[in-house]
Chain A
Amino acid sequence: MTSAPAIEAVSLTKRFGAFTAVDSVSFEVSRGEIFGYLGANGAGKSTTIRMLIGLLAPTAGRAVVAGRDVTREPEAVKAAIGYMSQRFSLYLDLPVRENLRFFGGAYGLWGRELQARAEEVLELTGLAEHRDTVTGELPGGIRQRLALGSAVLHRPSVVFLDEPTAGVDPLARRGFWRLIRDLARGGTTVFVTTHYLDEAEYCRRIGLMVDGRLVALDTPLALKRTWVPDRVLVARGRALGEAASALRALDGVHAVEPFGAGLHVRVDPSRWDADGVRAALAGRGGVDVSVDETEASLEDVFLSVVGRTAQGAEEAGP
């Protein structure tokens, strides 16, 4: 049975009154995969997760997680998975080790097994030196690692992480993703939502939701090729406002969007390259910016998918 997917959703649907939060979503996640689930706020990501972990009954469709049907055996699903929510709950007035003991107990671990497992998790999450620290005194990034540690104490085969890195600084985010990837290498399936599209690059595959529907699902590279067939240039410099207006006026320039301190410029690859755009800008009285070729980012993909789907181009794929 090693080929059975860790997560299988078939036409999974959730309606709240007249509002369809999740609209016939189907996908599979294989074992040990890091699967990213992206979408705008309110697109239905958290509702999907809540159905997959047996917290919310689907209106229609079905899902099997870790070999159990979420509608028929929600309790078995809850025992087999780990879950870290957007607003994860730790007891802030308890020391780190007490939090682990509490959550371990909630998952049915006790005695020597709990003790041993708590030690392993302290090592895994790099929290051994903080074991006696009162949780509320730890910075947010470390608390986040503890929350993940608490969610994997009972060795779940699948973990669901709902925006685990929101508000975490770049340094702490790197540490957190190292941990996620260690878990996946150990065979744990990771289902993760995030708005940080740079870290979504670590996912093997990514699903993208718009208004309750799963509109794209593929590897990061394939998503870029499909959704951003344009050539992507980056413009940097001081005269960006001027450059943006000049670029938008050019035929075959499809989009000009701020990206970090510069601009991402998407152009028709048969008409423009970096040299051509540079020359065109120089022709306009020398706008003082540099222009280089770059790779499409997942943010370019996200904007392209959301933009095209929201423009009413219902089934119009790329």
Chain B
Amino acid sequence: MNSIVKENKMVSPYFLFFLIHSTQTGIGVLKFQAHIIKGAKHDAWISVLSFGLLLHIVFFMMLFILKQSSNGDILSFHKDVFGKVLGGTLNILLAGYFSLFGLFALHNYIDILPIWVFDGIAPWEYFLLLSVIILYIVSGGFRVVTSISFWGVIIPSFLLLSLLYLLNYAEVSYLTPVLQYTVKDYLISAKEAAPVFLGFETVLVFFPFIKDREKSGKWGHIALLYTTILYTTITVVTFMFFSQGKLEHLTWPTLTMIKIITFPFLERFEFIFIFTWLLVVMPVICVNLWSAIRSIKLTIPKTKPTYLLVGFIIMFFFVNLQIDEIQYATLFAKVVSYSGLIFLFGYIPFLFLIAVVRKKLKKVTQTVTGTSQ
């Protein structure tokens, strides 16, 4: 079991920024505003901001856990703590969790295409197209996955300029009065905002691939901060752009917002948005799939990653066909969001506690052996 990563497969620390940020952004960005207004209405941006800041604590815990593991990832930590069988089972579960996330991103993207752009094209056709790209990227290894997440952040960034155009129609009075609601409302909004922030848990698996690990943690924090600021900005712009009553009726606020932009040569600017979003979605799918495959590969020796990849894609294909019906979409979203919340705020703190205790024990044993010498 060769889990120590070679130097030539590693990436520079600042890529951690792109990896983390790109795994967080996904289809959710196009519609999360419609959900977060359920609790605190026009104040929901506060929930988004505070939830994003809360993630820094979770990330700190993750880094601490990774530091305590023997190989610098959660897979070895599982094995160190829970032993080979139980740890291995947890690793497989983790692989299932990541593949669920990858599938969710893929499914969502394939879902919006017929709604907005291509009416009447069967989902399997998109899937076949996308699977070629996914196959290419993931089989290329971690460095190719990193590069796609790099471009998946850089290229879609130009879309942010469109927010400036929207400020023409901004109505500041929609945002006031601030802090009008009770704590419970803000919590509901924060819970609804959670799914857009999820996805960066993959750092637990790919962290050994980052050079200069001790110092690279800051890039992760910068990425989380950037995501938070970005989401808060989008939320504030949306709230200034739509009256609350209208926002309640919308399902895709970001895309509806972008619709207002028209050029003489381009009637529908949101088409550009949707197609560029492939670059936003791709890293999410690829990083998650890569992490799932790595989790399995390190747990069960002698598995060929390429076969695993093809197996995953075939599995995705059939699952995607099965959950095509409208009733599964919301159920799927719920499963993903709850499992993500449990993972981040239940499982990570639990592992963190174990890591702390282990560190204390180690110190004690060290001092005991030290004095006895």
Are A and B bound to each other?
A: no
